[in-house]
C-alpha cells in the first residue's frame, strides 16, 4: 500500500529529504464541515488506519517505478527502509464527533507524517460518511430492522466491504454481502430476486420451490407481476407450509406505492390468519423515505436499504482533511502552525477534545483545547500508537457496534432529527483562541505584507 497515495506526498517527501528536513511534526485529521441535513459524524476508519500505519512499506517494484518517475537514489533508498515510527492519538471508532475536532493526531518525523496523509483520508472519509448516513437511516426506522442491501451499486469491492462494516456498526442488523458476513462476522440476509420468480412458468411454482428448499426462512418476493396477486399466492404457499408445521417468514415488496401496497398486503395476510408473516420492503429507501412510510402508517416490519445508504447519495463525500499544526524547531521546541487560505483556516498546535455531559449523561458540548491544557470533560483522543507500535487493543466489531449505540443514545434527540437539527456546541478554549489570533496576526505580517 506504499504507493496508494497522491503523487505530491512523494514529491514533498523527496523535497523534505533533499533539504534535510527531518524534524518531528504533528498533523491533525479532521472534517471541515457537516454536509447538509447532517448534525454529527459517527467516526469509523481507525482500525484500517492503524493496520496501514503498521504495515506501510515500499517494494522493489514500487521503487523501480518511482525511479522511472525521476526520484533520486538516496531518497529511494530511504523509502526502501521506510517504516512509520510515529505517535498516534485517536478517537475510538464508533464515537460521535463534530467538525474541526481532531479525529487522529499524528506526531512523527515530517516525511513519515506527510506520506501517510492520502491513505488515512481515503479510509476515514468514506467509512465515517457511510456510518454517519447509516445511523440516520437506523434512527428513522424507529427500532425496525434495517438490512444493508447495496453491494451492487456500491463503489467497488473494498467500498462494498466497508459499507457493510460501517453500516453494521451504525446500527444495521446485517448485510446482504456474504463476504462481509464471513470477514466481519456480520449476520447476512436475503432470499430471492425477480429472476428466480421469472425463471418458473408460474410465480406460485417459484414460491413453492423456494419454500421447499428453505421452509424455515422464506421471504417471498411478491411484486414481480403484481403485489396483491403475489400476496394471495404467498398466502396459499404459507398455508401449505402450515400444514407441514412451518410458518412463512414473510413477504418482500420492492416496487410500487409501498404505503398502499404494504397496507393491502397486510390485509391479505391477516385475512388468511398469517399474522406472524412479516412485511419486508426495499427499493430506493433512505432515512427520508422511511420516515414518510412510517408516518403514513405503513405496516412494515423491516427495511432493506441499499444504494442511497451505501453511497450516502444525498451527500456522497466528506470534507475530511489532514493539516500540519506544529513542527519542531532547530532548538527542539514545538512551534504551532496554521493555514490562512480563504475559508480554510486551521487551528494551530497539538490539541485535545473534551466532551462535557449533562446530568442525565447525555452530551452537552465539546471543547477543543491545546493538548497540555486540562479541562473537566472527558478527553476523546487517546494514545493508540507509540514509536510506530500499537499501544491500543483494537476492540472487536460487536464492541464497536455497542459503543456506537451508546454514543448515539447519549446524543440528545434534537440532534438526531432528519433536517434542520441545531448545531451541537463545539467550543475552542480561551488559550487555543488566543494562540490562533496571535499566530494569524503574525503570519499576516510576515507572509502577506512582506513578500520576500
Say how many C-beta atoms besides its own lie within 10 A of residue 75's C-beta: 20
Distance CA 407, CA 357 (A): 12
Q: How far is the CB of 68 from a second copy (least distance, A)?
A: 9
CA distance 373 to 371: 6
CB of 189 to a second copy, least distance (A): 6
| CB 378, min distance to a second copy, A | 30
Q: Which is nearer to a second copy, 139 or 148 (CB)?
A: 148
Q: Which is nearer to a second copy, 117 or 366 (CB)?
A: 117
| CA dist 418 → 37, 97, 261, 288, 294 (Å) | 7, 18, 25, 7, 14
- Tell me whether residue 240 or residue 405 sits nearer to a second copy (CB atom): 240
Question: Please, what sign has the CA dihedral across residues 122, 87, 166, 35?
Answer: negative
Q: In the complex, what is the shortest distance from the CB of residue 422 to a second copy, in angstroms, rounded to a whole number?
A: 26
Least separation in angstroms between residue 295's CB and a second copy is 22
Give CA–CA dist 262/293, Å, rounded. 10
Residue 188 DSSP symbol: B
- The answer to whether 366 touches 354, Cβ cutoff 8 Å, is yes
* Least Cβ distance, residue 328 to a second copy (angstroms): 10
Least Å distance between CB 414 and a second copy? Answer: 29
Burial 331-365 (b: 16+ CB within 10 A, else e): eeebebbbeeeeeeebbbbbbbbbbeeeeeeebbe
Q: Are 303 and 291 in contact (CB under 8 A)?
A: no
Q: How far is the CB of 365 from a second copy (least distance, A)?
A: 29
Q: Which is nearer to a second copy, 258 or 290 (CB)?
A: 258
Task: Report the C-alpha gap between 329 and 18 in whole angstroms.
Answer: 18
| Residue with smaller CB distance to a second copy, 273 or 446 | 446
Distance CA 162, CA 167 (A): 8
Q: How far is the CB of 166 from a second copy (least distance, A)?
A: 11
Measure the CA–CA gap between 247 and 274, rounded to whole angstroms: 9
Between residues 339 and 410, which has the closer beta carbon with respect to a second copy?
A: 339
| CA atoms in the 13 A half-sphere facing the CB of 102 | 33
Cβ proximity to a second copy: between 208 and 410 the closer is: 208
Q: Are 228 and 257 in contact (CB under 8 A)?
A: no
Residues in contact with 206: Cβ distance below 8 Å, sequence separation at least 6, in sequence order: 192, 196, 197, 198, 199, 200
Q: Which residue number, 398 or 447, has a Cβ lying nearer to a second copy?
A: 447
For a second copy, the closer CB: 51 or 377: 51
Phi, psi of 392 (to 5 degrees): -135, 135
In DSSP terms, 105 is beta-bridged to: 28, 89
Q: Which residue has the cell 407450509?
A: 241
Query: Least Å distance between CB 406 and a second copy?
Result: 27
Q: 104-109 and 87-90 as β-strands: parallel, antiparallel, unpaired?
A: antiparallel
CB 242 to a second copy: min, Å: 17
The DSSP string of 129-174 is HHHHHHHHHHHHTTTSEEEE--GGGSSHHHHHHHHHHHHHHTT--E
Nearer to a second copy, 109 or 363 (CB): 109
Query: By C-beta, is 69 or 358 nearer to a second copy?
Result: 69
Task: Give min distance, CB of 415 to a second copy, in A.
Answer: 25
Long-range contacts of 337-343 (CB under 8 A, 24+ apart): 337/439, 338/436, 338/439, 338/440, 338/443, 340/440, 340/443, 340/444, 340/447
Q: Give the residue with the Cβ less far from a second copy, 122 or 407.
A: 122
Amino acid at each position: 500500500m506504499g504507493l496508494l497515495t497522491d503523487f505530491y506526498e512523494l514529491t514533498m517527501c523527496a523535497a523534505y529529504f533533499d533539504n534535510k528536513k527531518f524534524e518531528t511534526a504533528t498533523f491533525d485529521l479532521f472534517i471541515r464541515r457537516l454536509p447538509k441535513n447532517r448534525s454529527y459524524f459517527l467516526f469509523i476508519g481507525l482500525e484500517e488506519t492503524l493496520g496501514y500505519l503498521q504495515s506501510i512499506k515500499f517494494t522493489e517494484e514500487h521503487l523501480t517505478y518511482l525511479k522511472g518517475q525521476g526520484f533520486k537514489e538516496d531518497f529511494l533508498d530511504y523509502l526502501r527502509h521506510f517504516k512509520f515510527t510515529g505517535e498516534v492519538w485517536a478517537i475510538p471508532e464508533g464515537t460521535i464527533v463534530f467538525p474541526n475536532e481532531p479525529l487522529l493526531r499524528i506526531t512523527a518525523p515530517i516525511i513519515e507524517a506527510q506520506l501517510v496523509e492520502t491513505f488515512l483520508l481515503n479510509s476515514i472519509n468514506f467509512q465515517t460518511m457511510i456510518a454517519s448516513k447509516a445511523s440516520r437511516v437506523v434512527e428513522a426506522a424507529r427500532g425496525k430492522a434495517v438490512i444493508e442491501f447495496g453491494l451492487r451499486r456500491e463503489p467497488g469491492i473494498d467500498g462494498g466491504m466497508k459499507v457493510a462494516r460501517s453500516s453494521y456498526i451504525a446500527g444495521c442488523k446485517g448485510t446482504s454481502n456474504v463476504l462481509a458476513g464471513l470477514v466481519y462476522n456480520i449476520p447476512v440476509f436475503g432470499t430471492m430476486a425477480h429472476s428466480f420468480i421469472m425463471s418458473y412458468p408460474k410465480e406460485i411454482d417459484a414460491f413453492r420451490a423456494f419454500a421447499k428448499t428453505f421452509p424455515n426462512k422464506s421471504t417471498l418476493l411478491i411484486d414481480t407481476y403484481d403485489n396483491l396477486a403475489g400476496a394471495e399466492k404467498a398466502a396459499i404457499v404459507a398455508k401449505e407450509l402450515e400444514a407441514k408445521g412451518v410458518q412463512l417468514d414473510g413477504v418482500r415488496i420492492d416496487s410500487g406505492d409501498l404505503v398502499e401496497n404494504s397496507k393491502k398486503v397486510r390485509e391479505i395476510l391477516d385475512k388468511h390468519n398469517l399474522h406472524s408473516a412479516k412485511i419486508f420492503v426495499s427499493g430506493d429507501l433512505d432515512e427520508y423515505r422511511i420516515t414518510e412510510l412510517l408516518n403514513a402508517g405503513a405496516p412494515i416490519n423491516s427495511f432493506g436499504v441499499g444504494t442511497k445508504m451505501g453511497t450516502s447519495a444525498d451527500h456522497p463525500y466528506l470534507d475530511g482533511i489532514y493539516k500540519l499544526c506544529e513542527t519542531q524547531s532547530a532548538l527542539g521546541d514545538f512551534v504551532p502552525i496554521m493555514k490562512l487560505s480563504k475559508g480554510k483556516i486551521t487551528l494551530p498546535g497539538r490539541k485535545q477534545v473534551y466532551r462535557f455531559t449533562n446530568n442525565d449523561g447525555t452530551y452537552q458540548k465539546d471543547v477543543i483545547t491545546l493538548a497540555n491544557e486540562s479541562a473537566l470533560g472527558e478527553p476523546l483522543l487517546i494514545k493508540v500508537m507509540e514509536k510506530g507500535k500499537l499501544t491500543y487493543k483494537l476492540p472487536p466489531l460487536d464492541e464497536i457496534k455497542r459503543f456506537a449505540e451508546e454514543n448515539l443514545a447519549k446524543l440528545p434527540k434534537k440532534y438526531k432529527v432528519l433536517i434542520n437539527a441545531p448545531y451541537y456546541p463545539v467550543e475552542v478554549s480561551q488559550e487555543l483562541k488566543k494562540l490562533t489570533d496571535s499566530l494569524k496576526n503574525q503570519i499576516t505580517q510576515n507572509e502577506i505584507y512582506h513578500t520576500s
